Chain A
Amino acid sequence: MPQLGETVTEGTVAQWLKKPGDSVEKYEAFVEVSTDKVNAEVPSPVTGIIRELIVKEGETVPTGTPIAIIDDVVAETTPAPNGSASPAEQVAATLRQAQGDTGASKAEANHQASDEPVPGGNVGLSGPSYSAPANNGASNGAPAGPNGVRTSPAVRRLAREHSVDLASVRGSGSNGRITANDIIAAAKAGPSAGVAATIMATAAPVAPAASSGGATARVAARAARPGDLIPLTQARKIIAQRMVESKHTAPHAWTMTEVDVTNVWKWRAREKDAFEKEYGVKLTLLPFFIRAAVESLAAFPLMNASFTDEGIRVHADVNVGLAIAAGGNLVVPVIRHADQLSIRGIALAAGELIDKARRNRLGADDLAGGTFTVNNTGANGSILSAPILVPGQTGIVTTEAVVKRPVVRDDDSIAIRSMMNVCMSLDHRVVDGAVASGFLSDLKKRLEAMGPTGSL
């Protein structure tokens, strides 16, 4: 049944002009069809013999319904458009073709059309596909987040509202995009899911914050099972990036010294209970160490510098970064102007940063501007580490485990002393062995001069 009008959806066979057995020429009228808009004689699509009249006179059928079968006498010269064998198909198909069909073949054609490359981008599907959100972000001009990650307004707002760190969220959207639902899920999962942005890690096993013990390491260990392929979180990606950048930029040299911390340990032991009672913050060896370190940095300013193409920038400020592990990642919050702080001040600043890190509250200000880094690898029992520099810094020192060892003293007596190795990686573009060892020796001297009493 042909479609005889713009909005016609059905037609009535008004009168058959041929009967079965009649021959019919191509374009010869063989049936009269009426619709509510118009009556028309329908020309035959082929030359042949009428085999069967399917629809009776007076019967109404939807457009596209086969109404007759004509045996196509010269099959080779009038092939069916869609290549089907049956003559009935041919007739129906020809009519469909001629009049416009909304059936499956059209759907196919549409699908094919959309597979073809879109010229100029404004035909059919308007605009380029945005399945690569990074590209779309670029054309959108969406400002990059703290890590160069492009985020939608909803994602940024939700992350802000729920204090979720974007760097820690794994994106489930197209091309790894972080979606709003990802943020909502992350917010529900809790603080272990969120970590601060600037990432750094040591080559040694991840060292947790001084008093968190091995808890985080155990969590991390539990998460990884043999045979797993763990998808990369945003944070892990960035850590990896920064590690590679650091190692490939700064030629790392390494040195170490061993420090007798017996006295400073005693001093610490004497102070820690009162300190903790008064400030609610644990007093570890770290602030003593940092105090000594900043004094050594004052004596060896090249250790508090950065290599640039324009020259070696010796920093005016001494901002000491602490490598802290939280939530399976490392963060390096910074104690700003550590050189101006007392041991107490350093302890409090460090305590606050560690607490913030644990609660996911580290902000950009907490993480920016470090000039030198300390990593307490000893907390996990390490006695030797080869840390990787924070990009842009010249030195990173580790405080290894404090181990009681028999040592030979100056007067050749043997004593049991608390010994702590201090390892250091350095940027060999900026300093050489003389400066590096000089710094470490200086640091050792100061540390060994501290305690067993003193003022915090």
Chain B
Amino acid sequence: MTATAQQQTGVTMTNVEAVRTTLYDALKRDDRVLIMGEDVGARGNVFLITKGFLEEFGEQRIIDTPLAEASIVGVAIGMAMEGLRPIAEIQFADFIYPAFNQIVGEAAKTRYRSNGDYTCPLVIRTPYGGGVRGALSHSVSIEALFYHVPGLTIVAPSTPADIKGLLNAAIECPDPVLFLEHKKTYRSVKGVVPSGYYTIPIGKADVKKAGTQVSVVSYGYNLHQALDAANRLEGEGISVEVIDLRSIRPMDKGTILASVRKTRKLLIIHEDNKFGGIGAEISAMVSEEAFFELDAPIRRLAGPDVPAMGYALPLEEEFMTSTEEMVDAMRELAKF
């Protein structure tokens, strides 16, 4: 946890509860904050994240939008340019594509194209990721589509405490932030969340487990599997360091490089398709900047290069990397 976190009393909660309470606190704290998206009002969001918010904050602040992603983001951009702090929700990351134009062509470039005359302090929240039998259109990872774009910030916290800190930071951020929530971790990941207001700096990764023989970089649901795998390997005398990336862009080069200098071996794990995924950028960066530290080729465990994970359980399991696969990969790398 960083210096800005307040380590007073903490409350144990799940990831989805962390999103919910952080949004609630933000609405209470800052009049400029509002939430807009499909079914966020009366339904309270399809994961019940905003349940009760409409009743408490009213329909001006909790807006049930038409079924039109481009304008969910586009209207929010206009609001942000005019000085509000809108939080736009895309119901599932798989639905974000109609808004791609607005996110990449408009929001990311607002400050740059006006040379700071206008800014776009917008948060776009969306659940992503698979393992929930969501099939082809409720399971994708989208970070690789967006992290390429300068001007966009992308964060993907994996634990409740990180979710609160980074969501607060995202709302504070004067530039557009894509806030990714892995839906499989919504209810399956629990943790202690410090009470009180705090932020975690965007662009800072977190070493969730220190180690000496292999560096693992991951995020999302994979992160928890990687921790499991690393803990199992402790029993075999293999010491694996697990870094929770937390922030896709900007990416914490420093933490990654420091770890690689220590262990000399790097394994990147992400659920997204392998080709052109985050692992590609990390690999290139590490081999550019720490070539003479490497005692093994950089390794990536990632989703297969197929359009999406299928509905049938064997197809989904084949797509998702299992903890066992991670254990094997870490062990192999340690022994290389």
Q: Which A residues form the contact surface with B (CB < 8 A)?
A: 6-9, 36-37, 100, 106-107, 109-111, 113-114, 122-127, 129-131, 133, 136, 140, 152-157, 173-174, 177, 179-180
Contacts and interface: CB of A to CB of B under 8 A. Distances in A.
B322 to A, nearest CB: 4
Given A6-B138, A7-B186, A9-B187, A126 B324 contact: no
Given A9-B188, A133-B336, A106 B295 contact: no
24 contacts: A6-B138, A7-B16, A7-B47, A8-B187, A36-B48, A37-B47, A100-B313, A107-B322, A107-B324, A113-B317, A114-B324, A122-B274, A123-B318, A124-B304, A124-B318, A124-B321, A126-B301, A129-B332, A130-B299, A130-B336, A131-B336, A133-B336, A136-B297, A174-B336
B42 interface: no
Q: Which of A122, A129, A131 has the most CB of B within 10 A?
A: A122
Nearest to B313: A100
A126 B295 contact: no
Given A130-B332, A154-B292, A155-B295, 18 more contacts: A6-B134, A6-B138, A7-B47, A9-B188, A100-B133, A100-B313, A107-B323, A109-B314, A110-B317, A114-B322, A123-B318, A125-B329, A126-B274, A131-B332, A133-B336, A153-B291, A154-B295, A173-B336
A236 to B, nearest CB: 23
B44 to A, nearest CB: 11
B296 interface: yes
Contacts, number: 98
Contact of B295 (A36, A114, A179): A179
A125 B326 CA distance: 9
A7 B184 contact: yes
B249 interface: no
Contacts of A136: 297
Contact of B264 (A124, A127, A154, A174): A154
Contact of A109 (B133, B294, B317, B325): B317
B294 A154 contact: yes
B305 interface: yes
A106 B322 CA distance: 10
A244 B318 CA distance: 50
- Interface-centre pick from B264, B300, B301 (highest chain A CB count, 10 A): B264
Interface of B: 16, 47-48, 132-134, 138, 183-184, 186-188, 264, 274, 291-297, 299-302, 304-305, 313-314, 317-318, 321-325, 328-329, 332, 335-336
Nearest to A108: B324
A127 B302 CA distance: 10
Find the residue from A9, A36, A152, A174 having the highest chain B CB count within 10 A: A152
B295 A110 contact: no
Contacts of A100: 133, 313
A125 B325 CA distance: 7
A114 B323 CA distance: 11
A174 B265 CA distance: 14
B184 A180 contact: no
Contacts of A109: 314, 317
B56 to A, nearest CB: 19
Contacts of B313: 100
A179 B265 CA distance: 11
**Quick one: which of A111, A126, A155 has the most chain B CB within 10 A?**
A126
Nearest to B314: A109
